[in-house]
Homo-oligomer: A and B are copies of this chain.
Amino acid sequence: MDTSETVNYGRLWARSVPDPVDFSTVWTPPRYDFTAGIPDPNLLPLSGLAQAASEALRQEGKELAHYPSGQGHPGLQDIVAKKFSVDQGISTPADRVLITNGAMHAISLVAEVLLDPGDLVITEEFTFAWSLRVFERFGARAFTVETDENGMVPEALDHALAALRQKRLRPKIIYTIPTFHNPLGLEVPLERRQQILDVASRHGVPILEDDVYGDLRFEGEPIPAIAALDKGRGNVLYVGSFSKIVAPGMRLGYLLAPPQVMGRLLACKLDAGTSAFSSMILYHYLKDQRDDHLEEVRLALRSKRDALVGALGEGLGNRARWSHPRGGMFLWLRLPQWVNTYTLRNKAENVGVSYVPGIYFSPYGKGENCLRLSFGYASRDDIHEGIKKLTDVLRAEGVLKSPTTQSRSKK
């Protein structure tokens, strides 16, 4: 091999290309997995999907000879539009729906059409880490707004938007997860949703509402999406997913967007269409079995939320605080201020327990004493055992000692 004529890629990279990802390490699943927002593998509707595959391929398989239409499988678009219309009471035409390769793809497309380097994206104090990574990829920075146990504080949002505009900083998107928040496990009450929408609209900044967990309510009355409150004005771009209600491995999600945004999204979507194969199978599955499956998933999640909250109460008592989610897959645990959940992670992993440290969800690296626990994947039994092991680790760290002892144990 004549290496003198080997291409030197170092001279060729695009200026904005990110550092390379290390793809040599192989991920091994932890024994007690509280990490990802993913479903229980034992509850996946595998035989339903297999049956739907036969049916879809027989009925509309020949369509696979074509490249998929730009906005995706019409049946799946229709299911999304009808679901939104029924759940939210806002009639939604199917051509407002874009089917994407998962919600991340939808969020990336929105970022691509709106963000330039130096732009700002408003977020909650803690938010979904992958979305932050996407905004950063397009050169934007996240700017967080005060967030309490009811979500983003509207007065703080108003104040922040006014201050930023005065400084000629350009907030382009308000990215929010109002329902079963990732990672905080909270939901924003109706009145506050309306206030957030009003503030955003007054400042002329669109809201990107990430609602991938909204279908997973197991407690309490449904609250309308911010996109529903917008009543078709187009001020809210709404992202949903089939990853949480069917499976992440499907890679199918969707975006509701007004026509002027849809045209731009399609101009940036250069992948020759979202899989008609997965889409037609998912469509045949959902049209017959969505409601039954969702009911089963919700019951399981409630029971696992109870197991998690029970195990935390038993192990930590009043030495920590945690959210009490009424849906979704996440619980946010706040430990005493002096605890560092990032350095603690190794000790937890040594006993087979994985979680995500709080700092991963803050654009500013805050939340050192916090961590996110997912109750989507692990079984009830694993939740009990795993949290027992985690609280043992915390006990060994001195978390359960009285405040006076704590400050000593810090040294």
Residues of chain A at the chain B interface (Cβ within 8 Å): 1, 3, 5-9, 11-15, 17-24, 27, 36, 38-42, 44, 46-47, 49-50, 53-54, 57-58, 61-71, 95, 101-102, 104-105, 108, 112-116, 130, 133-134, 137-138, 172, 198, 201-202, 204-206, 231-235, 243, 247-252, 260-264, 266-268, 270-278, 280-281, 377
In the complex, A69→B49 CA distance in Å? 21
For the complex of A and B, 9 pairs with smallest distance between CB atoms: A20-B263, A64-B249, A249-B276, A53-B53, A64-B247, A41-B62, A41-B65, A21-B266, A46-B61
In the complex, A198→B18 CA distance in Å? 30
Contact B101–A63 (Cβ < 8 Å): no
Contact A67–B20 (Cβ < 8 Å): no
The 8 Å CB contact of A95, one of B23, B49, B247, B262, is: B23
In the complex, A95→B71 CA distance in Å? 32
Contact A249–B69 (Cβ < 8 Å): no
Contact A64–B271 (Cβ < 8 Å): no
User: Which of chain B's residues have a CB closer than 8 A to the CB of A248?
Assistant: 64-68, 272-273
In the complex, A41→B61 CA distance in Å? 8
Query: A36-B67, A38-B67, A66-B38 are known contacts. Are A18 and B264 too (CB-CB below 8 A)?
Result: yes
In the complex, A206→B231 CA distance in Å? 51
Contact B101–A271 (Cβ < 8 Å): yes
In the complex, A3→B233 CA distance in Å? 8
User: Which of chain B's residues have a CB closer than 8 A to the CB of A44?
Assistant: 61-62, 64-65
- List, sorted by A's number, 26 A–B pairs whose CB atoms are closer than 8 Å: A1-B233, A5-B201, A6-B235, A13-B113, A14-B116, A17-B268, A20-B263, A21-B264, A22-B263, A23-B71, A44-B61, A49-B57, A50-B53, A50-B57, A67-B248, A102-B272, A104-B272, A130-B270, A130-B272, A134-B270, A249-B273, A250-B275, A250-B276, A251-B273, A277-B281, A278-B278
Contact B7–A249 (Cβ < 8 Å): no
User: Which of chain B's residues have a CB closer than 8 A to the CB of A69?
Assistant: 27
User: Which of chain B's residues have a CB closer than 8 A to the CB of A277?
Assistant: 49, 247, 249-251, 278, 281
User: Which of chain B's residues have a CB closer than 8 A to the CB of A9?
Assistant: 206, 234, 260-261, 264
Query: A12-B206, A201-B5 are known contacts. Are A36 and B66 too (CB-CB below 8 A)?
Result: yes
Contact B233–A63 (Cβ < 8 Å): no
The 8 Å CB contact of A11, one of B65, B204, B250, B268, is: B204
Q: Report the minimal beta-carbon distance from A280 to chain B, rounded to whole angstroms.
A: 8
Query: A17-B267, A21-B266, A278-B275 are known contacts. Are A235 and B67 too (CB-CB below 8 A)?
Result: no
Query: A62-B44, A247-B277 are known contacts. Are A114 and B14 too (CB-CB below 8 A)?
Result: yes
User: Which of chain B's residues have a CB closer than 8 A to the CB of A12?
Assistant: 114, 172, 206
Q: Report the minimal beta-carbon distance from A252 to chain B, rounded to whole angstroms.
A: 8
